[in-house]
Amino acid sequence: MWLARRKDQPDRTHEAVPTDADIRTWCEACGQPDLAPDLIRATRSADQLYVHWARKHRTGLRQAQQELLPLHERTRVQRVYGSKVVTGFLQTPGYASALLSAITRFQGTPNDVAAAVEARMQRQRALYEGDHRFVVLMEETVLKYRIGGRKVMAEQLAHLLEVMQLPSLAFGVIPFTTDRMDAWPLEPFYVYDDATVIVETLTAEIRITEASEVSSYLRAFQALGQPAVYGPPARALVEAAVDALG
C-alpha cells in the first residue's frame, strides 16, 4: 500500500520532542548558547499548539473536555463553524455519546465516554448563564448526517429547535444549495474572543494565537456567514431535516 513505510525508512512513530537539555546542548554545540531560551520557548509553544488526538486522548476523552471548559467559560464572544457534526455545546447527551463512542473506537483510546459526555454537557451552562454570546454557523449537511441513528438524530434536531431561540445564541444554517463564490466548506473551527482559534482535524487539534492567522479565520467566518440564514428560515431547514428522517 502507498501508505506503508518503506523498509529503509526509520520508524519515527515514537519520537519525542527535544527536551530543554537537548536544546541547550545543541545550541552549545553550534556555538550559540544564547539562543537556547528562545528555542525552548518556541518548542514549548509548538508542542502546545499542535496536539495529536492520540496524545491528547491517551487516557480517554474526559480530560480533554474538562481542559476546554475554562476557555469556553471565560470567552465573551465565541464564533463556531461546523461542517461535519453539531458543535459540542449544542449536542444532546445521546448525540455526544454516539459521537464520542465512535471516536473512542476509531482511536483505540480508553473508554470513558460516559464521563466525557458529562464533562461536555457542562459547556452548555454558558448558554444560559453569564454574559456570553455565541454565533454558530452550520452547514445544512450537518443536519442530515445521522450520527447515532435516526432516534438520536431526531432528538438532536429537536434540541436545536429549542436552543436556537435563546438570546445568547445566533444560529445560522448555510443551505447546501448555496452558490459558493467567496467561501468553500472548511474544517470545523472555533474562534474565542478574536484571540484564539481551535481547528479540529481527523488526527489533531490545532490551536492558533498568531494575530494574522486569527484574522484570516475571522474573515473566513464572515464570508461563510454571508449566505447563511437565521431565524424562521434556519428553523425551516432544521424542521425539513426532521421530516427527512421519516
Residue 9 has pLDDT above 50, yes or no: no
Query: Which residues lie across from 191 on neighbouring strands?
Result: 79, 197
Mean pLDDT within 170-185: 92
Report which of residues 211 and 22 the model is more confident about. 211
Nearest to 226 by CA among 105, 81, 92, 110: 81
Q: Tell me: the pLDDT tens digits for 71-129?
A: 999 999 999 999 999 999 999 999 999 999 999 999 999 999 999 999 999 999 999 99
pLDDT score for 105:
95
Q: List phi, psi (to 5°) of 154.
A: -60, -40
Query: Which residues lie across from 198 on neighbouring strands?
Result: 190, 207
In percent, how much of the chain has pLDDT > 70? 85
Mean pLDDT within 168-188: 93
Q: Tell me: the pLDDT tens digits for 27-79?
A: 788 887 776 665 555 554 444 456 676 777 878 999 999 999 999 999 999 99
- Which residue shows C-alpha cell 436556537? 164
Please classify residue 160 by burial: count the beta carbons closer than 10 Å to its beta carbon, then call 0-12 exposed, 13-18 middle and 19+ buried: buried
pLDDT score for 10:
43
pLDDT score for 2:
32
Mean pLDDT within 229-243: 97
- Average pLDDT value over all residues in the chain: 86
Mean pLDDT within 152-157: 98
Domain ranges for the chain, please list them. Answer: 38-244
Residue 7 has pLDDT above 80, yes or no: no
Nearest to 87 by CA among 103, 77, 99: 99
pLDDT band of 13, cuts 50, 70, 90: very low
Q: H or E stretch including 226?
A: none
Domain range 38-244, CATH architecture: 2-Layer Sandwich (3.30)
pLDDT score for 5:
35
Q: Tell me: the pLDDT tens digits for 203-218?
A: 888 999 889 999 999 9
Question: 2: Cβ–Cβ under 8 A, 6 or more apart, which residues?
Answer: none
64 C-beta neighbours (distance < 10 Å), count: 17
pLDDT band of 144, cuts 50, 70, 90: very high
